[in-house]
Amino acid sequence: MREKVEVTPRGIINSLRKVGPWEAISEYIWNGFDAGATQVDLVVEESELGSIKKIQITDNGSGIAYEELPQKFKKFLDSEKSIAGSSKISSSIHGKSGIGRMTFSVMATDVEWRTRFTSPEGNKAYTIRIDLKSLDKYEVKNPPTPSDKPTGTRVTISNIHTHMWREFSTVGIEYLKAEFAWFLELNKTKNYSLTVNGEKLNYESIIGSRYDFSGYTKDGTYYTGHYIQWSSKLNDEMSRYYFLKSDGQERFKETTSFNRKGDRYYHSIYITSDIFDNFSVTEDDTPGQESMMGFSRKSKQFHEIRETAEELLRERRRPYLKEATNKIIDILKRMRHSLDTIIAMYGRNIVMKN
């Protein structure tokens, strides 16, 4: 069975012309996490000559339900994810543009999904394929058949045509760190993990400092927090507060007030409290609403917690700025010394010539 995607191959290629191979791989990883996966495994298989033979991304998510296939694959640049949530207030759903499944085309000619999903009759499995010559079509290789294995999806990308993979162990790994570090920290208590060729992605190298804190509001509400200062910029995620329920599930997130100040102070703060177990995040909350619906952004307890976190950021930013300033001064001194040396050398040459 072959079904037509509602866009032309040229339109797909034009939409993806700015997508690089590392971003393409990240989209498939995000698709796994969006499907509820707690474990995503990336395997890059090399040939004897050092080129990349194929790439596999395997997750333990919910799979792609066969009856939902037309909604997920038939429309390009459109996705049900855009209705399900907003990345501005929640990290639960990442991809929203509906382009993730086509990004293989920036680096390869073929992609295959082997997916298992739950049906009323039990788990079932089937295979989907797309190739570069027919980007406007997807092919279901076989109808769903019963499976005794748990749900999940394995994406196999083959016939790689980009030369950038020789930089995978350096540039590629650093891209993955900057893409997923904040998300893996957010879900650390739930044991989320991303492995690359069998090893967990280690992103400690991009962490400048960590700090744990805890406290009580005036009415005795307890909260804990974890602060991270990133030593380099995250790919697309801004510096944010992440507010988590008592079970570690994210309720919502907000940007901090220290974004885009030009000082390269990148950070994340994860705050956990039971007030977020029953918390309204709508913008039209009114005072007193918490008495009927739990807590909200207008609640005194929330403001106290938020102010504590804000003050912590100010305190942590001061030594960071001082250290950053000292580094700049040191660089300028070295530049001045080098310039003085060059001037002195040229000066001596002019004297000798005369």
Could you tell me the residue ranges of all domains in the chain?
2-199, 203-328
Give Cβ neighbours of residue 19 (< 8 Å, ≥ 6 apart): 27, 99, 103, 106
**Domain range 2-199, CATH class:** alpha beta
The kind and range of the H/E element at 73 are: helix 69-73
Residues 42-96 have pLDDT tens digits of 999 887 776 788 999 999 999 999 999 888 876 655 555 544 444 567 786 665 4
CA distance 133 to 159: 13
* Per-residue pLDDT tens digits for 118-151: 999 999 999 999 998 888 888 998 889 999 999 9
Both tokens assigned to 344? 């002195």
- 277-329: pLDDT as tens digits: 999 987 555 544 444 558 999 999 999 999 999 999 999 999 888 766 555 55
Q: How far does CA 245 lie from the centroid of its chain?
A: 21
Nearest to 214 by CA among 203, 198, 227, 225: 225
What residues contact residue 155 under an 8 Å CB cut-off, 6+ apart? 28, 31, 56, 57, 58, 111, 112, 113
Look up residue 229 and give its two tokens: 């200062």
Q: Give the number of residues written for the chain.
A: 354
Tell me the whole-structure pTM to 2 decimals: 0.83
